[in-house]
Amino acid sequence: MSEGLVGVEDRGPVRILTLADPRRRNALSVEMRRELRDAVRAATDDDTVRVLVLTGAEGFFSAGGDISSMSDDEQLGILRLQLLADLVEAMVAGPTPVIAAVEGGAYGAGLSLAAAADHVVAARDARFCASFGGVGLATDAGLAWTLPRRIGQGRAAEMILFGEVVDAEHAATIGLVERLAEPGGAVELALERAELLARRSRPALAATKEIFAAGHTDLRQVLVAEARAQRTLFTGPDFAEGVAAFREKRKPTFRA
C-alpha cells in the first residue's frame, strides 16, 4: 500500500483507497481531500481499475471534516469545499463504481462520502451521523443531494436536522446501507461485492452511472438517456460477448 494520507492498493481489477490518518479518526484535512480527489480521478482514468473500494484505516471510516484545522480564513474555506466538491463529483459522475466499506463511524463529511458511493457495505456495529449542525454548519460534499436519493426526503431531513446517530442495522433498513458485515469484515465483504462488479461490462456500468448521475426527474428524460446509452452499447464488443455467452450457456467474459 502506498504511503500518505490515502493508501492505494490494487487487488487485481479492484483498487482500495484507504483514508489513513487514524490519530484523527481519518478526519478530512485539506491535504487528505486533495490526495483522495487525485486518487479517485487517477483510478477513473485507469482502464485497468474496474471498481473502487473506499474505506478508513484502523476500524474507522471517517470523522468528517478536520475541525482542528478549520479557521475563518475565507480562501482556505473555499479550497476545502472545492476539493470535496471535486471529489464527490468524481465519485458520482465518474465511470468507475465506488463501494464504501464502513467500519466504526461515518460522521459529517464522512457520511457524505459514504452516501456518494454506488454501494455501501457496513459492519453491524458501524454508526452514521450527519453531525454538521452540532458545530453550526450545513451539509457539504453533496449530502443534501445524495442522501435524499438514497433514503427519501423525510428521512434525510430527519438525519440532517436532528443530527442523531444511526446504527448500521437501521441504516440498512432505510436504504443508506446495502449490505451488512460482521464487525471487522466490511472490507472483505466489499471486496467480494467488487469482484462481482469487476466481471461485468465496464461500458455498461459507466453508462448506467451516467444516467443515475444526471438526476433526471422526468420519465421522458430517463427514456431518452437510456436509449442513447443502449445505441452505443448494442454495437460494442461486450454486448456481442453477452449474446454469445447466453447462446452457449456460459458466463460472459467482458474485456472492454
DSSP symbols for the chain: ---SSEEEEEETTEEEEEE--GGGTT-B-HHHHHHHHHHHHHHHT-TT--EEEEEEGGG--B--B-GGG--S-HHHHHHHHHHHHHHHHHHHHSSS-EEEEE-SEEETHHHHHHHHSSEEEEETT-EEE-GGGGGT----TTHHHHHHHHH-HHHHHHHHHH---EEHHHHHHHTS-SEEE-TT-HHHHHHHHHHHHHTS-HHHHHHHHHHHHHT--SHHHHHHHHHHHHHHHHTSHHHHHHHHHHHTTS------
- 209 closest CA partner among 39, 93, 107: 93
pLDDT(71) > 70: no
Q: Is-contact 163 133, C-beta < 8 A?
A: yes
Task: Please choose, from the candidates 93, 23, 29, 91, the residue with its C-alpha nearest in 3D space to the C-alpha of residue 58.
Answer: 23
pTM of the predicted protein model: 0.88
Q: What is the pLDDT of residue 232?
A: 77
Query: Which whole number is the average pLDDT over 93-111?
Result: 96
Q: At residue 176, what is the residue type?
A: L
Strand partners, 129: 107
Percent of the chain at pLDDT exceeding 90:
64
Give the pLDDT confidence of 145-158 residue by residue, as tens digits: 899 999 999 999 99
Q: Which residues contact 46 (CB under 8 A, 6 or more apart)?
A: 15
Look at residue 222 and tell me whether its pLDDT is greater than 70: no
If one compares 140 and 256, the residue with the highest pLDDT of the two is 140
Question: What CA dihedral angle connects 153, 111, 174 and 154, to 10 degrees?
Answer: -20
167-189 per-position pLDDT tens digit? 999 999 999 999 999 999 999 99
Q: How confident is the model over 26-48, as pLDDT tens digits?
A: 999 999 999 999 999 999 999 99
pLDDT interval class at 2 (50, 70, 90):
low
What pLDDT does residue 140 have? 83
Question: CA 195, CA 99: separation in Å to the nearest integer?
Answer: 11
Q: For residue 18, what are the β-bridge partners?
A: 7, 55
Residue 134, burial from CB neighbour count under 10 angstroms (0-12, 13-18, 19+): exposed
In this prediction, residue 227 has a pLDDT band, given cuts at 50, 70 and 90, of confident
Residue 166 pLDDT greater than 90, yes or no: yes
Average pLDDT, the chain: 89
Tell me how long the chain is: 256
What was the pLDDT predicted at 87? 94
Going by pLDDT thresholds of 50, 70 and 90, the confidence category of residue 69 is low
